[in-house]
Each structure stands twice: as C-alpha cells, then as structure tokens.
Amino acid sequence: MKITNRRTVLVATALGALLAVTAPGAVAAAPRTTDASAPVAVAAGSVAPAAVAAGSMGAGTAGLGRGGADCRPGTLDPGPLRAAIAGLPSADATSAQVRITTPDGCWTGATGVRDLRAQAPVPPHARFRVGSVTKVFTAALVLQLAAEGRVDLDGQVQGYLPGLLPTDYPTVTVRQLLDHTSGIPSPTRPGDVEWQLAHRYDRWTPEQIVRLGLDNPREFSPGEKQHYTNMGYIVAGLLIEKVTGHSYEAELDRRIARPLGLRDTYAPGDDPRIRGQHAHGYQAVIRGGTTELVDATTWSQTFTPASGDVISSLADLDTFITALFTGRVVPEPQLTEMFTLPQVDDVEGGPARYSAGLTAMRLPTGETLWAKTGSRFGYLAAVASTRDGRFRVEYSITATNAKGEELSATAQAVIGAALGMA
C-alpha cells in the first residue's frame, strides 16, 4: 500500500509500535475449544465468520470533541478497516472491536462472535479487559491527588506507605512509580500457560505481590533507569487507597467513571467475571499434540491491581482519553506529567519511552503519538491519540494468543487498514 501523506506515516509507525505485543507463550492455530468445565469440538475454519456490524453512534465530529458516543463517519471511508477485521472468528482471534477518529470523521465497528458456543455476534458496546491501559486511569488518579495537594510527586513512597518497603531501601518517589523509574523488582512466577490456567482463580493482595517482588534483587537505584513493569502501579494503587481512605475501585468510580458518564468502566476487585455484555476471550493451548481454545474470560485479575485489571468499552475509552487530553480529568500543571518523559535511559540503553501512564511513539516527522497497550489472557486492547486529539484509535481484539510472542494477524491487518484511512 502506498504511503500518501504525513498523517499516514504517523498512523503506520505508531500502530506498528503499539500492536507489537511481546510476551512468552506463542502457540499454533486452534481447531478445538474448551471452557473450564467441558470441551467443545470446533473444526478449524468450520465456523462461518460473523458479519461486520458498524456505524455511527450519535452526533459529533473528529478532534477535541466530547468523545465516546460522538461518532459520525463524515467523509471517512471505513472500507479498509471493515476488511481488516472481517472473517472472524479465525484461528487468530474470535472477535474484534475497533474505533478510529480522524479529521475526516469517526467510525466504529465490530466483527466475530460473542462466544464460540452460542455464535452470537459481539454485542454493541461490549466490555473487555483493557490490561495495562489501566495504568492511564491509575496515573490520572494519582495526578488528581497531586493537584489537590494530597500527594507530592517528589514525596517519598516510604512516607506515604510506611513498612511497605524494607527500612534500608533507597528513597522512591511517587513520580518514579508512575514513570517506571523506581527500580522496585517484580515478582517471579512460572510463565507457562498451563500453570497460569491452574492458578487463574488465585487471589492476591497488593502487599503480597510487593513482598514477592522484593525477594528479587533491586533492578537499579531509583531514578537511575527506566524499566516498564506493573510494580510501580501496584504500589500507586496502594498509595491511592491510603491517601483517600477508600478502595481503588471506589476512587476510580467516584473520580473518573461517574463524572465522565462511563457506564462500562470499572475495576473488578476480586471478582473474576466481566459484568454486563462482553465478548469472551480465549487462549490457545497445546494438549496431547492438539491445540485447544480455552475460555479465558473468567479470570482473577488480583495479580495486576491498579496496573492491569480495569474493564471498559471502546466508547468509554474514547470519552476518557478525550477528556483526559483536554484537561477535564487532570488539570495543569499535573497533566504535563503525562506528556513528559524522564531524562534517563531504559534498561536496554535506549531513551525513555514511558511517561506517567502513557507511551510516547516518536516519529521521524518529530510528531508524537501518545498511546497505551494492554494484554490479558484472551484480550488485547489499546488507546492512542495525538496530543491535539485529532487522531485517535481504540481497539479490543480477543486474540487467541494475546500474550504470545507473535503479533496477532488481526492486529497486523488493522495497521494496514489505518494506512488507507489516514
């Protein structure tokens, strides 16, 4: 596909980066599906693809509007994106939901099935696990507290959460939690899919996770380098609870979801289910030489509190990002933290890429796309926006190997479609 303009370069480069999921456990195509209780035989390729459902959801225009339900096609041609997410379910993914906003208009569409048993289409405004997109919400909550004078970004974590870290641990600041420069080590768990499935209903407390992480050596001195992990945000979740006296779930609802009218966004706590209308997620697993799809929808998210557990929808994510980037969630000067990179190298020697809650996708043109991706077993999700909000993308793909090393073919197709729609 020929690249025809500057914005096309922006879309291609940024989406290529944000869809490059890197996690262990890639497996082959999936000819059989199971849930936690019983196997269901489904021959690969025998399921008829569900029709693409797409269209507008209310009035509005691209750019710095209200986001969310405002989605008019305008002069935007959604044909390439329709084609990119057509043909599901497949061995690669069972469904996809995508929303794109450009200066020409807005389009949202879905394809695939709600679940492989019923073969019903993906319901409108289907909820999904957003994975590490949760970090954007958590960063916003901490920055709100900073704006209220209740948290000092340069304040010591040890002062807010006494006893959490060892007494001889070097000083960690709140800002270092948010920009991944704290150096607090992550816990070590078996990485194979079968172990994860066997422990999918385990319940963890944030304090347990921190203690487990501290069994490992410190990665680096706080503020010295950057390494993207969940740990800083798990601690940030504890900080929110200590300062406010309320649970993370309650503060997310009170400070962000309710004020913005986000009907599908919530933190599940220790509830392993997805409440409301949603598409099921599946994980491909090789058993006895045969690849099966295991329903991964019901899964405790207590190992990623405040860092990867939030549930949302496309419209809610768009409303949130639009409000966030226009200063309606976090005021200045705290909002600047979300668009400022620390002046350190990452652990691999490259420049820092992560701000408070977001990832900077730097382009040869000098422009930056601010994005956040997420993956949980059964679910891929992402949000991305230019600083002015004129170009935005949100997606959820129920990929059959969402945490695998290989990039989802459906995600690759979305990249190509975005090229043609820029």
Given this model, what pLDDT does residue 48 score? 40
Sheet holding 392-399, edge to edge: 53-55, 105-112, 93-102, 392-399, 379-386, 368-376, 359-362
Side-chain-side CA neighbours of residue 263 (13 Å): 7
Given this model, what pLDDT does residue 379 score? 97
Q: For residue range 51-68, what is the model confidence (pLDDT) as tens digits?
A: 344 333 322 233 445 566
- For residue 170, is the peptide bond before it cis, meaning its omega torsion is within 30 degrees of 0? no
Q: Which two tokens stand for residue 86?
A: 């057509």
Q: Is 6-421 a domain of CATH 3.40.710.10?
A: yes
Nearest by Cα to 111 from 128, 89, 131: 89
Given this model, what pLDDT does residue 81 score? 85
Three-class secondary structure of residue 352 per DSSP: coil
- The pTM of the full predicted model, rounded to 2 decimals, is 0.88
Among the residues of 183-302, which ranges form H helices? 193-198, 206-213, 231-244, 248-252, 258-260
Between CA 105 and CA 63, with CA 138 as vertex, the angle to 5 degrees is 15
Q: For residue range 191-245, what is the model confidence (pLDDT) as tens digits?
A: 789 999 999 999 999 999 999 999 999 999 999 999 999 999 999 999 999 999 9
Rg (CA), the chain: 21
Mean pLDDT of 131-144: 98
Q: For residue range 157-170, what is the model confidence (pLDDT) as tens digits?
A: 999 999 999 999 99
In which residue are the tokens 């816990």 written?
187
Q: Is the pLDDT of residue 127 over 60?
A: yes
Burial class of residue 220, CB neighbours in 10 A (0-12, 13-18, 19+): middle
Given this model, what pLDDT does residue 11 score? 47
Residue 217 CA to residue 213 CA, distance in Å, equals: 9
- Start-to-end C-alpha separation, the chain: 12
**47-51, 220-224, 259-263, 407-411: segment of lowest average pLDDT:** 47-51
Among the residues of 106-223, which ranges form H helices? 134-147, 157-160, 174-178, 193-198, 206-213
Active-site annotation holder among 46, 56, 90, 132: 132
Q: For residue range 267-319, what is the model confidence (pLDDT) as tens digits?
A: 999 999 999 999 999 999 999 999 999 999 999 999 999 999 999 999 999 99
* CA of residue 305 relative to chain centroid, distance: 13
Residue 96 CA to residue 313 CA, distance in Å, equals: 12
Nearest by Cα to 365 from 287, 295, 422, 286: 422
Strand partners, 101: 106, 392
In which residue are the tokens 């501290």 written?
214
Q: Is the pLDDT of residue 257 over 60?
A: yes
Given this model, what pLDDT does residue 409 score? 87
**DSSP 8-class letter at 256:** I
Q: Is the pLDDT of residue 41 over 90?
A: no
Instruction: Give the chain's length.
Output: 422
Q: Is 132 a catalytic residue?
A: yes
Do the beta carbons of residue 255 and residue 145 sit within 8 Å?
A: no
Q: Is the pLDDT of residue 1 over 50?
A: no
pLDDT band per the 50, 70, 90 thresholds, residue 189: confident
Q: For residue range 369-401, what is the model confidence (pLDDT) as tens digits?
A: 899 999 999 999 999 899 999 888 999 999 999
pLDDT band per the 50, 70, 90 thresholds, residue 406: confident
Pairing of strands 32-34, 290-295: parallel
In which residue are the tokens 């809610």 written?
316
Pick the more confident residue, 378 or 72: 378
Given this model, what pLDDT does residue 23 score? 38
Q: Is the pLDDT of residue 421 over 70?
A: no
Q: What is the domain partition of the chain in residue ranges?
A: 6-421
Residue 390 CA to residue 64 CA, distance in Å, equals: 6
Given this model, what pLDDT does residue 67 score? 63
In which residue are the tokens 């939690």 written?
177
Given this model, what pLDDT does residue 25 score? 34
Given this model, what pLDDT does residue 4 score? 41
